[in-house]
Amino acid sequence: MAYDWEKYKNFAEFILNVDGQIVDEETKIRNAVSRLFYHAFHCLENWAIKSLSYESTENNTHGSLKAHLLKCKHKDKAELYKQLRDIRGICDYDNETGADLKQLFARAKIIHDRLVGPLKNFSSLEK
């Protein structure tokens, strides 16, 4: 049975509601952004497999998915994906973001929803 990546989106929402005495706000936001990104990635990848003949392999990178989107003339999806990936990179790798994390999360959520909204039925390949 294929994993339903919608659970990553649900987990992102759950993380934001964890008691602030257990996990600080920065950690919650960083993790929520990361889970939103990977939810979007899997929905987009599954959609590309079913709709654009994308062949997913273990060696594929995020760049190969973006390149396939561009090759198939889906520049809008490729650009949203890149923007969300950039925000995820800040949250996952930067020791100091230099940004208001609440604003960064709000931006990530808007991009995620614009990208995934039409693809929400692709959380799992079995749907």
Q: Where are the domains of the chain?
A: 6-122
Kindly indicate the confidence band of residue 59, based on its pLDDT and cuts at 50, 70 and 90: confident
Type of residue numbered 114: R
Average pLDDT over residues 58-74: 91
Q: What percent of the chain has pLDDT over 90?
A: 72
CB distance 40 to 81 below 8 Å: yes
The topology under which CATH files domain 6-122 is Four Helix Bundle (Hemerythrin (Met), subunit A) (1.20.120)
CB distance 103 to 72 below 8 Å: no
Q: Is the pLDDT of residue 127 over 70?
A: no
What's the Cα-to-Cα distance from 88 to each of 26, 38, 62, 93, rounded to whole Å? 13, 9, 12, 8
CB distance 6 to 120 below 8 Å: yes
d(CA 42, CA 38): 6
Average pLDDT over residues 101-113: 94
pTM: 0.90
Residue 2: the pLDDT is 83
What is the overall mean pLDDT for the chain? Answer: 91
Kindly indicate the confidence band of residue 71, based on its pLDDT and cuts at 50, 70 and 90: very high
Residue 96: the pLDDT is 84
| pLDDT tens digits, 76-99 | 999 999 999 999 999 999 888 777
